[in-house]
Amino acid sequence: MNSLEKWGKNSMNHIYPTIVKKQTSAKKMLAVLIDPDKAHDQESLTPLLEKCQDSGVDFIFVGGSRVPEGYTEKAVNVIKEHTHIPVLLFPGHSNQISQKADALLFLSLISGRNPEFLIGHHIKAAPQLKKWGLESIPTGYILIDGGKITSVAAVSQTVPLPSDEPKLIANTALAGQFLGMKLIYLEAGSGALEAVSSQIIRQVKDELEIPLIVGGGINTADKAAWAWAAGADLIVMGNSLERKPALLEEVLRIKENYNNNL
């Protein structure tokens, strides 16, 4: 058996086809982002996970910009104890990986020029990912100015693309698609003061054929609705759901209404 056959046999690649199937049928998706640090406070995390399990959350993302080694796997274990929702790693470093996840967003920060976040961490993680056969989805990650300096910008030492340059952002996304990325992720950063604008989402979506993810600063049901309406296939919400658990129900109602009215 050659290496390609072995890779295909060991890799349970089903997450990306699921995303594409929903995208092509215009079904909107929601991912809840869990910071691995929160796994050490299961008392506060468990109610959110139970709400996710009992509702229409499509995926749970696990990751952060600054995560001590070992925390990612612990977070995945806690999540899997409470839900059957697919867990996707959203790593900010090559040590933020776990064999127990269902897939990994193989992020390349194409909005910046720091080689460590374009290819460096990927080289370090690749041998282990191959050994595990973990589904790894090439993702063009584009950081956009959300009105404050985010931990992503600080850790990656890159400057976000200006939010008043939608054409530049759209061209960056298109270049990512031509480079072979299977997803584009527009990110305003955790705790952003401003979410990615509808204009940016719409302009990027018009250029792409691959699925579009949007996250950062989506802290109200209205912002979620606007992002989906502008063309986001999948939106990501995190801190706002921990502060206001009822928000999850509001957003899921919007998602359900949207998908039922296709």
Task: Consult the annotation and say whether 39 binds a ligand.
Answer: no
191 annotated ligand-binding residue: yes
- Please compute the mean of the pLDDT values over residues 38-49 and round it to a whole number: 79
**Cα–Cα distance for residue pair 256/27, rounded to 1 Å:** 9
- 110: helix, strand or coil: coil
Mean pLDDT of 175-200: 94
| 35 marked as binding residue | yes
Question: 13: annotated binding-site residue?
Answer: no
φ, ψ dihedrals at 104, nearest 5°: -135, 135
Query: Does 136 appear as a known binding residue?
Result: no
Asked if residue 12 lies in contact with residue 23, where contact means CB atoms within 8 angstroms, the answer is no
- What is the reported pTM? 0.94
Kindly provide the residue ranges of all beta strands, DSSP E only, lying in 170-257, ordered along the sequence: 183-187, 212-215, 234-237
Is 49 annotated as ligand-binding? no
**pLDDT given for residue 219 in this prediction:** 94
Has 141 been labeled as part of a binding site? no
CA dist 115 and 156 (Å) reads: 10
Q: Known binder of ligand: residue 176? A: no
pLDDT tens digit string along 192-236? Answer: 889 999 999 999 999 999 999 999 999 999 999 999 999 999 999
Q: Show the tokens assigned to 258.
A: 């949207």
- Residue type for position 49: L
Averaged pLDDT, 70-90: 94
User: CA angle 251-253-259, nearest 5°?
Assistant: 105
Set out the domains of the chain in order of their start, with CATH numbers.
Answer: 28-255 (3.20.20.390)
Q: Sort strands 29-34 and 234-237 into parallel, antiparallel or unpaired.
A: parallel
Residue 239 annotated as part of some ligand binding site: yes
Pick the closest to residue 187 from 247, 227, 137 (CA basis): 227
189 is an annotated ligand-binding site residue: yes
d(CA 39, CA 112): 30
Give the confidence band of 54 by pLDDT, cuts at 50, 70, 90. confident
Would the CA dihedral through 146, 201, 134, 99 be positive or negative? positive
